[in-house]
Structure 1
Amino acid sequence: MSSVAHQGEQFVRANGIDICYEIFGAADAEPMLLIMGLGAQMVLWDDSFCAQLAARGFRVIRFDNRDIGRSSKLSGGKRLTPLELLKLRFLRIPVTAPYKLHDMAKDTVGLMDALGIHSAHLVGASMGGMIAQEVAISFPHRLRSLTSIMSTTGNPRVPPPSRQATAVLMAPPPNTKDEFITRFAQTYKILRAGRFPQDEALDRPRAERIFARGLSPAGSGRQLRAILASGSRKERLASVKAPTLVIHGTADPLVHPFGGKDTAASIPGAKLLMIEGMGHVLAVELWPQIIDAIAAHAHGAAAEAA
């Protein structure tokens, strides 16, 4: 990582909130924003992952979404109840939320404005993929390319998460550091959906880093409400013109593999990469395949635009 320029944590005011971000790579390289998922801090885009992408010729920017990590925390929105989920799934009664994914898309665009970036490659994982999709729909001129990883369209026909993954999502938050570290390892064991020894060895240091940056259980709850209140993007995704790559794991227990297939089928000309044995985690063992795919797609989009 020493050969890649790295600017540590900084803060900027955008869309009415403070956003914490970091930059890897040269100032004149192609800008690429990495958008993390539900309740996930930007550091889950590992330092080495960001550095390897930057080494491929990108100015890689990772940031904490609103309500997580060191970005602004909002208020409102009670803890989601199983009854609300049942009403949403079977009666289509929408969940109420203090904000929606469109607001988070505006955060992303606001960060780009603050950094003087007119357009960028957007790479989103899980909820981050949903946010990136929303940017592609609502702010199409701001995208050079779109990569949607382990995400979905919001289409209610996509099968639900596995029972284990649902239990992880709905579990009450841990109260102590030790509880958090234990829960983190348990959660990621389920989300990885297989043996990935390098990641298992990293569970504790990752959990300690996240805990030190600050937990926001209520914020994660508001983010979940934002997803559920935003409905389906499936029909609107037909308008997306940005070159699109969809990456999904065949073993994903949280966002069913059909979610990735549905995303690719909904965006004209989208390419689909299904990674055998990948769960709902960017496992270190799979980085070469994932990073190669993201870099090739973004460089291809840049070449087409030139």
Structure 2
Amino acid sequence: MHHITTPDGISLAYETFGTEDHPAVLLIMGLGAQMRVWPDELCHSLADKGYYVLRFDNRDSGHSSNFEHHGNPSLVSTWVKTRFGRKPQVPYTLRDMSRDVIALMDNLHIESAHIIGASMGGMIAQIMAAKHRRRVRSLTSIMSSSTSPGLPDARLKVLLKLARRPTPFNREASIRYTMRMNRLIGSPAYPMDEMELRALAETSYERSAGPGGFKRQLVAITAAGDRSHLLRKIKVPTLVIHGSDDPLIPVRMGEDTASAIRKAKLRVIQGMGHDLPLSLVPTLTKMLGKHLKKSEKRWHRKLEKKRSASDQPDAANDAGTPVRLLNAPQPRTGI
């Protein structure tokens, strides 16, 4: 594991798989989750396909900088202010988190990358694809949406359960909480066994940046509001992956995301919930591998087209034809 420091002084922990001179694939994790939630098997599989894979801890998670000094912001107050067009005071925003990713790329001298985001990570990836087009070769949005999860909704119960951390926040209570939450949002057709659930929960506890990070990230999502206007600006090849049984972000929100992005491809996985179980890795690897391969070819065709255009001489100048400068004064004729 390595660290970089952003221009804002935020430390980001990251890990890499594969060879540096291969096309980069950047994995952005979701709400309250650490980079290790991206299965090792998925990272290795993508690296084996010829990519330089990076996963990292978002701010306020894992071994990256925590923001405990910002305290415990109010989710309800943030939602009310956002709902009525008022700007809430939040510790940070999703756009701040997208700038963290750009800073990571800058530090590692990565000019452009294929961006894959899950849940909140998908929202951050969408912002990057819309705002930093030259840095993004392709976009994959997994179990994500174009808007924040509204409070008056059937998902309210799930969100409140996720936000309610155990007290006291000791090791065993935290592990039981994480296992319970992963069962709650898990994939009905791809359930994790107890050993897988416990191993994930233990890793999460041992690498925890602090119990309040989840709440502050949830407030950042809520404050972001509707991003549909941003999605219409995305031009890169886009794949949207969603589970048919997602209890947190319903599949219709994945469908809305795909319909808002020009030529986006939607793939719905039957029986998938809001997680990345090991048993789904072969399916995800196949989908992602195909998307990345096509997008990488398109990227190189685009570069070649730009090179060809820059190498073409100005035919009019070569023929000796005078060039009229726009806004330049023209000679007057007549008496």
> Residue 228 of structure 2 aligns to a residue in which SS?
coil
Aligned to 1:187: 181
Change (3 A) 1:234 1:13: same
Opposite residue 20 of structure 2, the aligned amino acid is: A
Q: In the alignment, is residue 177 of structure 1 matched against residue 177 of structure 2? A: no
Return the offset for 1:81.
4.1
Return the offset for 1:170.
2.4
Return the offset for 1:100.
0.7
Opposite residue 43 of structure 1, the aligned amino acid is: R
Does the 8 Å CA contact 2:190/2:280 hold for their aligned counterparts?
A: no
Opposite residue 28 of structure 1, the aligned amino acid is: D
Unaligned runs of 5+ in 2: 301-335
Return the offset for 1:38.
0.7
Aligned to 1:258: 252
Q: Give deviations 1:15-55, integer Å, cap 9, x for gaps.
A: 32111000001122110000000110101012222111111
Which of 226, 234, 243 is the aligned partner of 1:240?
234
Aligned to 2:99: 106
Q: Which moved more, 1:63-72 or 1:194-203?
A: 194-203
Aligned to 2:195: 201
Return the offset for 1:169.
2.1
> How far apart in 1 are the matches of 2:183 and 2:149?
27
> How far apart in 2 are the matches of 1:153 and 1:294?
21
Does the 8 Å CA contact 1:94/1:228 hold for their aligned counterparts?
A: no
> How far apart in 2 are the matches of 1:92 and 1:76?
27
Which of 26, 29, 38 is the aligned partner of 1:33?
26
> How far apart in 1 are the matches of 2:75 and 2:99?
29
Number of matched residues? 298
Correspondences of 1:73-88 after superposition (within 5 Å): 73-75=66-68, 77-81=70-74, 83-84=76-77, 87=80
Opposite residue 152 of structure 1, the aligned amino acid is: S
Which of 259, 266, 269 is the aligned partner of 1:272?
266
> How far apart in 1 are the matches of 2:17 and 2:227?
31
Opposite residue 303 of structure 1, the aligned amino acid is: K
Instruction: Output the TM-score relative to the length of structure 2.
Output: 0.83
Change (3 A) 1:202 1:228: same
Which of 47, 72, 78 is the aligned partner of 1:54?
47
Return the offset for 1:163.
4.8
Identity among equivalent pairs (%): 39
Return the offset for 1:211.
1.2
> How far apart in 2 are the matches of 1:89 and 1:229?
6
Q: Which moved more, 1:279-288 or 1:153-162?
A: 153-162
Aligned to 1:295: 289
Return the offset for 1:215.
4.0
Which one has a bigger Cα radius of gyration? Answer: 2
Does the 8 Å CA contact 1:76/1:98 hold for their aligned counterparts?
A: no
Which of 217, 222, 230 is the aligned partner of 2:224?
230
Instruction: Output the TM-score relative to the length of structure 1.
Output: 0.90
Return the offset for 1:156.
6.9
Unaligned runs of 5+ in 1: 1-8
> How far apart in 2 are the matches of 1:243 and 1:289?
20
Does the 8 Å CA contact 1:248/1:273 hold for their aligned counterparts?
A: yes
Return the offset for 1:270.
0.5
Change (3 A) 1:199 1:96: farther
Does the 8 Å CA contact 1:77/1:221 hold for their aligned counterparts?
A: no
> Residue 70 of structure 1 aligns to a residue in which SS?
coil
Cα RMSD after superposing both structures: 2.2
> Residue 111 of structure 2 aligns to a residue in which SS?
coil
Q: In the alignment, is residue 11 of structure 1 matched against residue 6 of structure 2? A: no
Correspondences of 1:85-96 after superposition (within 5 Å): 87=80, 91=84, 95-96=88-89
Aligned to 1:45: 38
Does the 8 Å CA contact 1:19/1:70 hold for their aligned counterparts?
A: yes
Change (3 A) 1:189 1:89: farther
Change (3 A) 1:86 1:134: closer
> How far apart in 2 are the matches of 1:241 and 1:226?
25
Opposite residue 25 of structure 1, the aligned amino acid is: G
> Residue 34 of structure 1 aligns to a residue in which SS?
strand
Does the 8 Å CA contact 1:159/1:258 hold for their aligned counterparts?
A: no
